[in-house]
DNA sequence: ATGGACACCTGTGGGC
DNA sequence: TGCCCACAGGTGTCCA
């Protein structure tokens, strides 16, 4: 489900509530949600209990929380709790005793800096998402690990990234995003532009919704080879990408159903702004031609066959 | 390098 | 009512 705007909405909801909170309780209801944690359930619990959450950082669709281990376990380990929402993950913040959320897989109880007790609930229908504890390492470029809304400046974890997310490149909302590096990658790729936009090692944060929306705005066909797009046109596409992601963040992301929720269990409002995704058969808002859906890479691609033509 | 298939999963909605 | 199929905001891996 979630792409950058949805994950950022979750990050922005978590950060003020649980930064500096101490983990007091960990309940793993379905160990499949820990499949990316190599140490198993007990190791996961023991590492977290007593640790402090130092911040909430995001790069692309990955979220992580650097951990301050209790004094008796503080060694050379620099660890973070890493979360990915997959297709259907949610991170909810509930007061203890709040009614059970269906499909809850992991509950982490924390005591906030204010003394308030909060339950972090990881809910995930399809279990493509995960929680894991991972080692932090230096970023490839030595700059910040990801986006944390300015929090974490000067902290030991600022320029670190979890090993499991180190292959993810910076996203268009990252202050250190390097547009020229992305344009250079486009120029070397013969693959269709949508495939390239979805490749988290070229630029990160884009998924099926925002890829279709960006291509609609730029009037590009999803299969147009990336290297065949002129640099000015590619720049224009990336500006649309950045704008759409930023606008969607302001709307709290895109919700169609029960799959995407913010930390309070509420949906986002960007769905009303969609022009291509989920618009199959409806008239294109530019030219009136019906939006088409084609099966592509085991998923759907939505586009206007009239204003997004494949060019030779 | 590149494109395709598929695996990981559950739930919902449409057609019959 | 049930059954079967298509479909869903992601990622990773294996194979031609």
In this prediction, residue A73 carries a pLDDT of 87
Statement: residue A62 has pLDDT above 80: yes
Q: Are residues A59 and A205 in the same domain?
A: no
Statement: residue A172 has pLDDT above 90: yes
Statement: residue A296 has pLDDT above 90: yes
Q: Are residues A150 and A13 in the same domain?
A: yes
In this prediction, residue A77 carries a pLDDT of 86
Residue A254: nearest nucleotide (C-alpha to C1'): C9
Q: Are residues A20 and A133 in the same domain?
A: yes
Rounded to whole angstroms, the Cα distance separating A46 from A170 reads 32
Strand B-proximal residues of A, range 237-276, CB below 7 A, are 257-258
In this prediction, residue A1 carries a pLDDT of 62
Residue A174 covered by a domain: no
Mean pLDDT computed over every residue of chain A = 96
Q: Are residues A158 and A252 in the same domain?
A: no
Residue A308 covered by a domain: no
A6 touches strand C (CB under 7 A): yes
Q: Are residues A222 and A82 in the same domain?
A: no
Q: Whose CA is nearest the C1' atom of nucleotide B10?
A: A126
The parent domain of residue A257 ranges over: 179-303
Q: How far is the CA of A166 from the C1' of C2 (A)?
A: 48
Residue A218 covered by a domain: yes
In this prediction, residue A13 carries a pLDDT of 98
Task: Look up A232 and say whether it is catalytic.
Answer: no
Statement: residue A169 has pLDDT above 70: yes
Q: Are residues A54 and A123 in the same domain?
A: yes
A128 touches strand B (CB under 7 A): yes
Residue A257 binned pLDDT confidence (cut-offs 50, 70, 90): confident
Rounded to whole angstroms, the Cα distance separating A256 from A258 reads 7
Domain containing residue A89: CATH number:
3.20.190.10
In this prediction, residue A75 carries a pLDDT of 76
Among residues A165, A191, A221, the one where a domain terminates is A165
Residue A271: nearest nucleotide (C-alpha to C1'): C9
pTM higher than the cut 0.75:
yes
Task: Look up A283 and say whether it is catalytic.
Answer: no
Residue A206: nearest nucleotide (C-alpha to C1'): C9
**Mean pLDDT over residues A54-62, rounded?**
98
Residue A101 covered by a domain: yes
Q: Are residues A156 and A228 in the same domain?
A: no
Report the range of poorest mean pLDDT among A127-136, A251-260, A272-281: A251-260
Statement: residue A76 has pLDDT above 80: no
In this prediction, residue A258 carries a pLDDT of 84
A189 touches strand B (CB under 7 A): yes
Residue A211: nearest nucleotide (C-alpha to C1'): C9
Bases of chain B within 7 A of a CB of the protein: 1-12
Task: Look up A61 and say whether it is catalytic.
Answer: yes
Q: Are residues A187 and A265 in the same domain?
A: yes
Question: Which one of A58, A59, A61, A121 is the catalytic residue?
Answer: A61
Residue A172 covered by a domain: no
A87 touches strand C (CB under 7 A): yes
**Mean pLDDT over residues A187-210, rounded?**
98
Name the domain count of chain A: 2
Q: Are residues A205 and A244 in the same domain?
A: yes
Task: Look up A3 and say whether it is catalytic.
Answer: yes
Q: Are residues A266 and A193 in the same domain?
A: yes
Residue A310 covered by a domain: no
Domain containing residue A232: CATH number:
1.10.8.50
Residue A312 covered by a domain: no
Phi, psi (5° rounding) for residue A73? -120, 0
Q: Are residues A56 and A156 in the same domain?
A: yes
DSSP string, A17-60: HHTTPEEEEEEES-GGGGTT-TTHHHHHHHHHTT-EE---EEET
**Mean pLDDT over residues A53-57, rounded?**
98
Q: Are residues A60 and A140 in the same domain?
A: yes
């Amino acid at each position: 489900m979630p792409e950058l705007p949805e994950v950022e909405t979750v990050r922005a909801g978590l950060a003020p509530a649980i930064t500096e909170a101490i983990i007091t309780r960990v309940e793993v209801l379905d160990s499949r949600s820990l499949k990316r944690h190599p140490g198993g359930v007990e190791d996961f619990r023991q590492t977290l209990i007593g640790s402090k959450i130092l911040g909430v950082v995001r790069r692309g669709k990955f979220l992580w929380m650097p951990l301050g281990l209790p004094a008796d376990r503080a060694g050379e380990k620099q660890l973070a709790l890493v979360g990915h929402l997959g297709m259907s993950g949610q991170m909810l913040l509930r007061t203890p005793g709040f009614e059970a959320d269906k499909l809850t897989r992991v509950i982490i109880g924390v005591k906030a800096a204010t003394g308030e007790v909060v339950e972090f609930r990881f809910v995930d229908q399809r279990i493509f998402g995960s929680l894991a504890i991972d080692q932090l390492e230096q970023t490839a470029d030595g700059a910040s690990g990801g986006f944390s809304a300015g929090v974490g400046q000067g902290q030991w974890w600022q320029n670190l990234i979890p090993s499991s997310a180190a292959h993810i490149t910076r996203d268009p909302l990252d202050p250190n995003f390097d547009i020229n590096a992305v344009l250079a990658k486009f120029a070397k790729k013969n693959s269709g532009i949508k495939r390239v936009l979805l490749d988290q090692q070229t630029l990160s944060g884009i998924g099926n919704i925002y890829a279709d929306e960006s291509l609609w705005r730029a009037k590009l066909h999803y299969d147009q080879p990336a290297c065949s797009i002129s640099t000015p046109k590619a720049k224009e596409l990336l500006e649309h990408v950045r704008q759409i992601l930023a606008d969607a963040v302001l709307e709290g992301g895109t919700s169609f159903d029960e799959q995407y929720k913010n930390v309070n269990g509420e949906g986002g409002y960007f769905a009303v702004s969609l022009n291509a995704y989920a618009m199959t058969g409806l008239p294109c808002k530019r030219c009136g031609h019906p939006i088409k859906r084609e099966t592509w890479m085991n998923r759907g691609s939505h586009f206007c066959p009239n204003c997004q033509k494949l060019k030779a």
